């Protein structure tokens, strides 16, 4: 699949990341199909897309005509048979077996030229591609939240990824007005490997009673960070952040420096997932 041959993009998973990826693909002029098995989540993603586009108009970054063109490029569906696309991007939970299952199912209705891109933030692409027909077309395309604003995209090549496929995804990222960075296949890749300790150390300070959530966040903001670790985890999703930390902890053979926090696990168990649930480390209700 060459870059100029890409006409239709499928996105699997209508959560925060999936919705954002879908929106920017449609804005770039691609026919874009967003799939999710949960009808309510799918409806929420559709409403969020319209709301975000309206905000873009209010801020002068988008015209009404561009909004309508974007919406015209979008299809929201719970039917996997509609996912016959040139590029398919999965943006689901950070579980290897789930990602592999999705790609294996979609392989049965798509040709070998369809590119399978994973938005994983921590699972090695080589592991995702294992057992999937034509693993040379499996590649990492890791966006950052919020996807319609954040410019960086990590393009990750697994052991089997063909160089021309990685280059095609790089060109696609540029078309989406992103800044692609080519990364090696290692747990957490570049950004999450470096940034993981921003969250982990903040949580350790909280566990040890060194300072409060508010104090830690304010100190980091005073040091030049736009957000403290707890405010950032609430934005990303406490559950998503915890899942990535757990995945990296396992991938690095349980190295203590990646140990997930029991405080964060309690938040996840309680359903306090951050802004999207109305409560995380802070209360948004």
C-beta of residue 88 within 8 angstroms of C-beta of residue 9:
yes
Which of 235, 232, 276 is closest to 41 using CA atoms?
276
Strand partners, 119: none
Catalytic residue (choose from 94, 154, 243, 272): 154
φ, ψ (nearest 5 deg) of residue 131: 85, -5
Residue 110: active-site member: no
Catalytic residue (choose from 94, 118, 142, 273): 142
Catalytic residue (choose from 73, 118, 119, 121): 121
Residue 148: active-site member: no
Residues 6+ apart with CB under 8 A from 81: 109
Residue 192: active-site member: yes
Residue 250: active-site member: no
Residues 6+ apart with CB under 8 A from 106: 10, 12, 80, 83, 88, 114, 116
Catalytic residue (choose from 73, 119, 192, 241): 192
C-beta of residue 169 within 8 angstroms of C-beta of residue 139:
yes
Active site residues: 121, 142, 154, 192
């Amino acid at each position: 699949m060459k870059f100029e041959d890409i006409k239709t993009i499928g996105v699997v998973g209508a959560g925060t990341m999936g919705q954002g990826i879908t929106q920017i693909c449609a804005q770039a002029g691609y026919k874009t199909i967003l799939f999710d098995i949960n009808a309510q989540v799918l409806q929420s993603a559709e409403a969020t897309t319209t709301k975000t586009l309206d905000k873009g108009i209010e801020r002068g970054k988008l015209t009404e005509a561009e909004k309508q063109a974007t919406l015209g490029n979008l299809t929201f569906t719970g039917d996997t048979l509609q996912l016959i696309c040139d590029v398919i991007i999965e943006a689901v939970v950070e579980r290897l077996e789930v990602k592999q299952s999705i790609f294996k199912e979609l392989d049965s209705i798509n040709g070998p030229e369809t590119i399978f891109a994973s938005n994983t933030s921590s699972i090695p692409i080589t592991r995702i591609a294992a057992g999937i027909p034509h693993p040379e077309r499996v590649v990492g395309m890791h966006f950052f939240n919020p996807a319609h604003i954040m410019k960086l995209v990590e393009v990750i090549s697994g052991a089997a990824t063909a160089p021309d496929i990685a280059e095609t995804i790089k060109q696609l990222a540029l078309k989406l007005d992103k800044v692609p960075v080519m990364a090696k296949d290692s747990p957490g890749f570049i950004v999450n490997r470096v940034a993981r300790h921003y969250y982990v150390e903040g949580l350790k300070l909280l566990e040890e009673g060194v300072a409060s959530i508010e104090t830690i966040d304010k100190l980091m903001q005073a040091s030049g960070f736009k957000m403290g670790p707890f405010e950032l985890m609430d934005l990303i999703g406490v559950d998503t952040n915890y899942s990535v930390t757990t995945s990296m902890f396992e991938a690095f053979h349980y190295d203590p420096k990646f140990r997930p926090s029991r405080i964060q696990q309690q938040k996840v168990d309680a359903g306090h997932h951050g802004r999207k649930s109305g409560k995380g480390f802070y209360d948004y209700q």
